[in-house]
């Protein structure tokens, strides 16, 4: 088997490090010894959009915020299904991740970065939430490893009750917030509902086939 090749390293603002690895046509983004994402295991990133859009497809000229660019699978899924008048903002904290999308990982992105509906913004998604005027129809959060973050203490505040209340303010009444997580978290699910959302929990496979390790996606409809 071919060895993994280290392509690049990124420093996470506020602490932590990401490494981009390649083996043949496969890519991996690592945090220390933990694999955060793999280009063969993107089923739950696609489901993050699909499950949310199933509850929001009635929206006219929808405005969407994606927190976290990753390897672009959520963005590509969104652009494949959204109408022509949709607007998508992707907030990515780590500038190198955006550079990877336009460089090493360009084969994964296809023409999605050139789509006129999409705009990539380098910065903290919390800033986009604070400036959400008007509010969004759909917010998709794939930040860190979910509510139990690995890389950045500040990410924990996004999933606190205060952070979820800010998410609610940034979402239109009847709008949808979907949150990706590596694992189930009862306390988080209760906080999400307490912040004013009607919440459903979905376990989805990491592989595109729906098989493999299970991840969790919470979908909340703003009351």
Find tokens 């509902």 and name the residue: 193
Asked if residue 151 has pLDDT above 50, the reply is no
pLDDT tens per residue across span 60-100: 999 999 999 999 999 999 999 999 999 999 999 999 999 99
Q: Is the dihedral of CA 104, 42, 190, 188 positive or negative?
A: negative
Q: Does residue 200 have a pLDDT over 70? A: yes
Alpha helices in 54-185 (DSSP H): 73-81, 95-102, 106-109, 125-130, 153-158, 161-169
Closest CA to 62 of 114, 122, 118: 118
- Say if residue 152's pLDDT is above 50: no
Specify the pLDDT at position 96: 97
Q: Do the Cβ atoms of 146 and 216 come closer than 8 Å?
A: yes
Give the residue from 67, 65, 49 showing the smallest Cα distance to 152.
67
pLDDT in tens, 102-123: 999 999 999 999 999 999 999 9
146: pLDDT strictly greater than 80: no
The pTM of the full predicted model, rounded to 2 decimals, is: 0.94
Using the predicted structure, report yes or no on whether residue 164 has a pLDDT greater than 70: yes
Whether residue 149 has pLDDT greater than 80: no
């Amino acid at each position: 088997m071919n060895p993994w090749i280290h392509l690049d390293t990124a420093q996470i603002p506020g602490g932590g490090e990401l490494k981009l690895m390649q083996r043949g046509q496969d890519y991996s983004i690592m945090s220390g010894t933990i694999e955060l994402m793999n280009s063969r295991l993107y089923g739950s990133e696609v489901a993050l959009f699909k499950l949310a859009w199933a509850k929001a497809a009635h929206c006219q000229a929808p405005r969407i915020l994606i927190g976290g660019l990753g390897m672009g699978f959520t963005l590509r899924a969104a652009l494949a299904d959204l109408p022509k008048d949709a607007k998508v903002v992707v907030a990515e904290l780590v500038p190198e991740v955006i550079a990877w999308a336009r460089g090493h990982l360009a084969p994964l992105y296809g023409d999605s970065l050139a789509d006129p509906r999409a705009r990539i913004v380098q910065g903290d998604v919390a800033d986009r939430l604070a400036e959400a005027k008007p509010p969004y129809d759909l917010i998709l959060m794939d930040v860190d490893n979910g509510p139990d973050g690995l890389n950045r203490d500040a990410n924990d505040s996004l999933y606190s009750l205060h952070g979820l209340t800010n998410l609610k303010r940034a979402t239109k009444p009847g709008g949808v917030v979907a949150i990706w997580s590596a694992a189930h978290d009862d306390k988080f699910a209760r906080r999400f509902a307490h912040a004013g959302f009607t919440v459903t929990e979905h376990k989805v496979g990491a592989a595109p086939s729906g098989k493999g390790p299970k991840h969790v996606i919470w979908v909340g409809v703003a009351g």
